[in-house]
Structure 1
Amino acid sequence: MLAQKRILLIIGGGIAAYKSLDLIRRLRDRGAEVVPVLTRAGEEFVKPLSVSALAAHKVYRDLFDLTDEAEMGHIQLSRSADLVVVAPATADMMGRMAGGLANDLASTLLMATDKPVLIAPAMNVRMWEHPATQRNREQLAADGIRFVGPEAGSMACGEYGPGRMAEVAQIIDAIEAELTAGPLVGKRVLVTSGPTHEPIDPVRYIANRSSGAQGSALGQALVALGAEVVFVTGPADVPPPKGVQVVRVQTAREMQQAVQQALPVDAAVFAAAVADWRVATASDHKMKKTAGGLPVLELEENPDILAGVAQMGAGRPRLVIGFAAETENVTEYAAAKRRRKGCDWIVANDVSPETGIMGGSENAVVLVTEENAEPWPRMSKSEVGRRLAARIAETLGS
């Protein structure tokens, strides 16, 4: 898939720059040509000689190298690639990209290119969550910049949270998706998946039996069609798909916040089985059995994430899709839910225990739209994901 593809790789200045060496090696193993650009800050983490040796190519570093300007020039360099990749993309790099600055070779190339740009953010968790970084992320997404990661995990600084650069395998998958002509290339899609866990006390929670398998299958199918996928997942049993931007949450309120931060998108698919209720006041300590009888749990309603996006007005995704897990009157309840929530489609299924669908590998759904209700035969969840992704592509392309 990458044979004879030319990738301009910009290596930013962060501890994650060491992954860029492995990225170069794996890209070349797949037949790609890698043209490396190393920022001054990047040189503090990886050396030009190492980068050049692995890429089998000269490393470009200086905007004002007159020899290079005479031979190729930064304009030609920026446009001779099939794809521009920034890995790692630091908070500073994202800020300069969002602001349209061009004061060194890397930022000038990014301003001058007419090719797609994929970035892999990497920074401290507080830097990633800072309002300025999130504003820059939204601006870059609106400008058509594609993202892979960041992931949540332990940081070199000792903190934990989102900000780790995506693993090399994920970046490779995202590069392959970008360079594969698919009907969803250039489209950004939000997918929610898995259950939510609503705490009762530090060791107990309210949840459901959703495995997250259908959401993961859909996310993978969307990536295969070229979409940039923001994948917001609760604590699912199955791993997230490759090539997506993973946002991990626990509760419905965390999922709502993650969804809002992911906007704007072209389509939003709410496959997560969000808990309808949460305990009004979760205990800070494990609740103990007492002779006084059973504890009383006061419940309150969780936010309606689907309705909030479907009815948002300005900035609403072009296509909003909800899921409905029912145990009776599946089509009727789903049609009523679609009207009540204000979404475009509902994907409904019967999750009665005897169907084996909840937590299983197969699904039998009814696609409910404004026009009709279309029952699909029972098939694997992967095939359901592919069919639904194809319908999404057809609608967004029309």
Structure 2
Amino acid sequence: MGNWKQQLQEQLRLAKQASRKWALLTTEEKNNALTAIGEQLLADETAILEANKQDLARAEADGQASSYLDRLRLTPERIRDLVDGLQQLVALEDPVGQSMDRWTRPNGLVMEQIRVPLGVIGMVYEARPNVTIDAAAIALKTGNAIVLRGSHSAVNSNLALARSMRDALTKSGLSPEAVQYLPFAEHESVDMLCTANGLIDVIIPRGGAGLISRVLKTASVPVLETGVGNCHIFVERTADYAMAETIVLNAKTSRPSVCNAAESLLLDHEWPLASQRDLLQRLHDAGVEIRACERTRKQHPELSSFLKEANEEDWDTEYIDLIIAVRTVESLEDALEHISLHSTGHSEAIVTENEAAAQRFLATVDATTVYHNASTRFTDGGEFGFGAEIGISTQKLHARGPMGLPALTSYKYVVRGTGQIR
């Protein structure tokens, strides 16, 4: 076994030891730790940004897309957003130790269901340094230890952030071993993390379809799957134009590199052609590449200079870029059928003034979050009031949607008796 493999195993062992200590900390101790981490991030801002510049320079030299660079980039404002997220977590109720249910059996046994930490969380993610802080903070608030394995493209940024967190924990008199960052470039390090039964309690992959698929195929440890976001907006025939334009532009252009951005636009064929034309023109003016179905292109020959031909792959693609797939559909039922075939179960929206159509959409679409007259960009832990999120689960067990504090807990039964035997 190579030295890096031995180091990895040692980091996992230290995280496991630390998780037992963190599970017993009080809410006050955990909140003080998060506050200290925020203060340390601000104190280390110059060093963190310098490390991030190294990663950005390498990514630019490798010819990475602007959307990738946006995910990778840290700025003073983004660091302050991370600190704000930590303070939001401090203000949130600690779920650990909460009584979920309590009852007394006929024999006098008192049974109680209590929230407890999961243990050690393994986090595998791509070029998003903010995840290093967000994930660790939620893990620590819920009494868990965390082992972080980010993409090598962000290794300098991630190491700088992890160093700040560990320094803050040390100064707080708490075990810094609860935060472990794996700096290894070898892909085998992901496989080792995913098969570390007995040391890792759950794996959370956060990134593109390739990363998530690799983790799911490799892992023998339980996986909390975060899915990709092929999010749709259906503009129904009664939609208000101004509202539709505002929602679609926000969902596509406010931050195209994130999983809650809209990737597909479905237009009801009975929505006025002038409104369709104006919306497509606005998307084009905002710098969005439009890949449209044949029907859409035929209906708008005046837009032929920028309406590109969509192919079957476009309906299933998460672009995470300023690109959108557009299809004209016959009806609400046609839109629902398209979404059922191509959705990744993340976030889906309808824009309509028809309450019956809205209710049909909300009840039928199988996704973590469904919207009526609102942007898909709200699928986010902070927007939901959860504080920093560790990811958005597109599976159904045991968590779904933005995963805040309760999602990183399990429960155990505490039974109190007076000498009962069976």
Fold similarity call, TM over 0.5: no
Q: TM-score, structure 1 length as denominator? A: 0.32
| Higher relative contact order, chain-length normalized (CA < 8 Å, sep 6+) | 2
Greater percentage in strand: 1
Greater percentage in helix: 2
Q: TM-score, structure 2 length as denominator? A: 0.31
